Amino acid sequence: MAIIVDKDIPTIVQGITGANASLHTRFMLQYGTKIVGGVTPGKSGQNVEGIPVYDTVQDCLAQHPEANVSSVWAPPRFAKDAILEAIEAGIKSIIVITERIPVHDMLYARHVAKSKGVMIIGGNTPGIISPGKALVGMLPKIAFQPGRIGTVARSGAVTYYIANSLNLADLGESTSVGLGGDPILGTNFEEILNLFDKDSETDAVVMAGEIGGVYEELAAPFISTMSKPVVAYITGKAAPQGKRLGHAGAIIEGSMGTAASKIDALEKNGAIIAETLSQIPALVKKALGGAR
């Protein structure tokens, strides 16, 4: 099956009555995502696109105990509470669309999640899509088609571009994961790579990182243990130190987090390095033996 989200996994939407959340709830439902409830404090009794709204996650799960995934669209100052509420209610996968969550808030939420065995994707993630099965977040469905290549990237735009390139090469995606662009993320590359390595519907993985942070370097040693090939791309090679590139987390501070240091670590551990995004499909095909 796909990783994290699938057609049969019941999902809730926290902050569902907000403009963006309600719009994308419609798109997620149209795609086939099994959304069973929404949560906005003080809005109980309303509905969005036919989905009942509850005041709390606990209230929602009392009516829909099968729900196991939540997407969080709450404003940054409320995001920590929304995440903690979902964790305490028993949700096991939390996809945080909210961007620019205060660093200490996210550090605390991540600590609690890990102690409870909960996976947080984000903050500032465009979401996750298992093409033809389910979409949680705001990824544009037109950019994805079913296939057997897993993708994980920090950037939403890079996620779309990689998927479109794979599609044009007749490859397609098993699942595409937007890891998130904030400085502090709930889940790192290694955890997603591990899921893909165990997934029977994934043959190879494309991993796209960017300058800033150390998530790519931390994941590099795991790549050497994987049974499936990993094609890696790092964006931001020309960015000067101290210059933020798009995301709050994409900024080089000190001697770590440069494109060169990431590429070096990945290559030493067996990743196949793409110098440009356009090279990725050919490298994937070569890694798979040219049979596709």
Query: Which residues are the active-site residues?
Result: 247
Sign of CA dihedral 183, 82, 104, 223: negative
CA nearest 21: which of 12, 10, 34, 31? 12
Contact (Cβ atoms closer than 8 angstroms) between residue 236 and residue 245: yes
Q: How far apart are CA 205 and CA 203, in angstroms?
A: 7
Contact (Cβ atoms closer than 8 angstroms) between residue 135 and residue 28: yes
Parallel/antiparallel/unpaired status of strands 173-178 and 127-130: antiparallel
Q: How far apart are CA 101 and CA 121, in angstroms?
A: 13
| E strand residue ranges, the chain | 11-14, 35-39, 47-48, 51-54, 69-72, 93-96, 119-121, 127-130, 134-137, 146-153, 173-178, 204-210, 230-235, 272-273
Query: Cβ–Cβ contacts within 10 Å for residue 30, how many?
Result: 11
Give whole-number Cα distances, 167 to 137, 144, 162, 171, 280, in Å: 20, 7, 9, 5, 11
**In the structure encoding, which two tokens stand for residue 17, read together?**
């009555």
Contact (Cβ atoms closer than 8 angstroms) between residue 161 and residue 140: no
